[in-house]
């Protein structure tokens, strides 16, 4: 996949600038962000995997989302930390294309996972009596597999097309490798890349976004015509997801226009940090189990008898 680099052996990042001793402050801040992201996502992955009461479609899709947040942040943060401390901001061509692959795969998996979660909430709210029939365990496994396999294959084709271009420069005006920046450096014909990029955009962005908009239109329709209890249930389960969707698209906008460390930092941290914190606090079932794991038996002894019994049952 990375066989041809068109005589370019390395790329130079043009968005970095000399910040003197402040680079150590930036390094410390980013390292703290990365540590929190890893701990928060790992905690929620363990909670969902270890507790059978959370082996439901909604939580399994959430687990897939947390795994992707962990993958995306681990792909980018160590590289960014090295670049901040380095005086020469270069990267080999092979590592650059690998980085582009990982970043695009992360973003694609994220948006498809969010669209699958919106479809799951749509079935749960609009067809509650048929939910278990429509969302079977086999269907859940198939959706999670497609969420991961489709982006990995699609992005591989995209990178193969970019890596075969003849390049006339090696300066990327961002703080990490970007496919569009590589294509702009090309001297050869890029029509195939542009056509595939258009197809990729329609499939990966407009397709999932259309599904998310449609499902929420149907959910709102049910909420306005349903009871107060239905509206409360929809609000409690959909608010974290909708906030996560808006946050991801907001961060993606910064990724497109970013040319500085600060804007890149927002894109790299907004979703991996925001998602586990949001779901951990807003979803009471996950929150109670996390608090039980972190606080231990002291927490259980401080709870009322009925609430403590509920927590113990959820941990079985």
222-260 per-position pLDDT tens digit: 877 767 776 777 777 788 888 888 888 887 777 766 555
pLDDT for residue 25: 87
The predicted-structure confidence for 298-308, as pLDDT tens digits, reads as follows: 444 444 444 44
The predicted-structure confidence for 120-159, as pLDDT tens digits, reads as follows: 999 988 888 899 999 999 999 999 999 999 999 989 998 9
Q: Do the Cβ atoms of 152 and 71 come closer than 8 Å?
A: no
pLDDT for residue 143: 95
pLDDT class of 264 with cuts at 50, 70, 90: low
pLDDT for residue 294: 66
pLDDT for residue 311: 42
Cα separation, 212 vs 115, in Å, equals 5
CATH class, 10-282 region: mainly alpha
Q: Do the Cβ atoms of 113 and 204 come closer than 8 Å?
A: no
Residue spans per domain, the chain: 10-282, 288-316
Q: Rounded mean pLDDT of 211-227?
A: 84
84: number of Cβ within 10 Å: 21
pLDDT for residue 291: 72
Model confidence, pTM: 0.84
Residue 214 has pLDDT above 80, yes or no: yes
pLDDT for residue 129: 87
Tell me whether strands 171-172 and 10-13 are parallel, antiparallel or unpaired.
Answer: parallel
The residues near 151 (Cβ < 8 Å, ≥ 6 apart) are 104, 105, 108, 109, 112, 204
Q: Do the Cβ atoms of 112 and 151 come closer than 8 Å?
A: yes
Q: Rounded mean pLDDT of 10-36?
A: 84
Q: Do the Cβ atoms of 264 and 258 come closer than 8 Å?
A: yes
């Amino acid at each position: 996949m990375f066989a041809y680099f068109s005589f370019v052996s390395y790329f130079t990042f043009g968005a970095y600038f000399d910040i003197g001793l402040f680079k150590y402050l930036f390094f410390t801040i980013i390292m703290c962000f990365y540590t929190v992201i890893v701990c928060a996502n790992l905690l929620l992955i363990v909670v969902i995997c270890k507790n059978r009461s959370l082996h439901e479609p909604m939580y399994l899709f959430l687990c897939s989302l947390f795994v992707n947040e962990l993958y995306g942040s681990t792909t980018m943060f160590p590289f960014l930390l090295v670049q901040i401390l380095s005086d020469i901001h270069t990267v080999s061509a092979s590592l650059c294309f690998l980085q582009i692959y990982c970043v695009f795969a992360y973003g694609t998996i994220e948006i498809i996972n969010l669209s699958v979660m919106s479809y799951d909430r749509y079935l749960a709210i609009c067809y509650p009596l048929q939910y278990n029939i429509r969302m079977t365990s086999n269907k859940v496994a198939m959706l999670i597999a497609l969420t991961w396999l489709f982006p990995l294959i699609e992005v591989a084709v995209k990178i193969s097309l970019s890596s075969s271009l003849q390049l006339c420069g090696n300066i990327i005006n961002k703080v990490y490798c970007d496919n569009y920046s590589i294509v702009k450096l090309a001297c050869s014909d890029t029509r195939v890349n542009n056509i595939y990029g258009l197809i990729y955009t329609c499939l990966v962005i407009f397709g999932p976004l259309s599904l998310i908009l449609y499902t929420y239109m149907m959910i709102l329709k049910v909420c306005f015509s349903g009871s107060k209890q239905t509206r409360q249930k929809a609000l409690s389960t959909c608010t974290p997801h909708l906030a996560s969707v808006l946050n991801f698209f907001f961060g993606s906008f910064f990724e497109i226009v970013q040319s500085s460390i600060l804007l890149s930092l927002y894109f790299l941290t907004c979703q991996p940090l925001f998602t586990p914190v949001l779901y951990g606090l807003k979803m009471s079932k996950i929150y109670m189990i996390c608090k039980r794991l972190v606080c231990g038996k002291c927490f259980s002894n401080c709870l009322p008898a009925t609430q403590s019994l509920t927590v113990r049952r959820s941990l079985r």
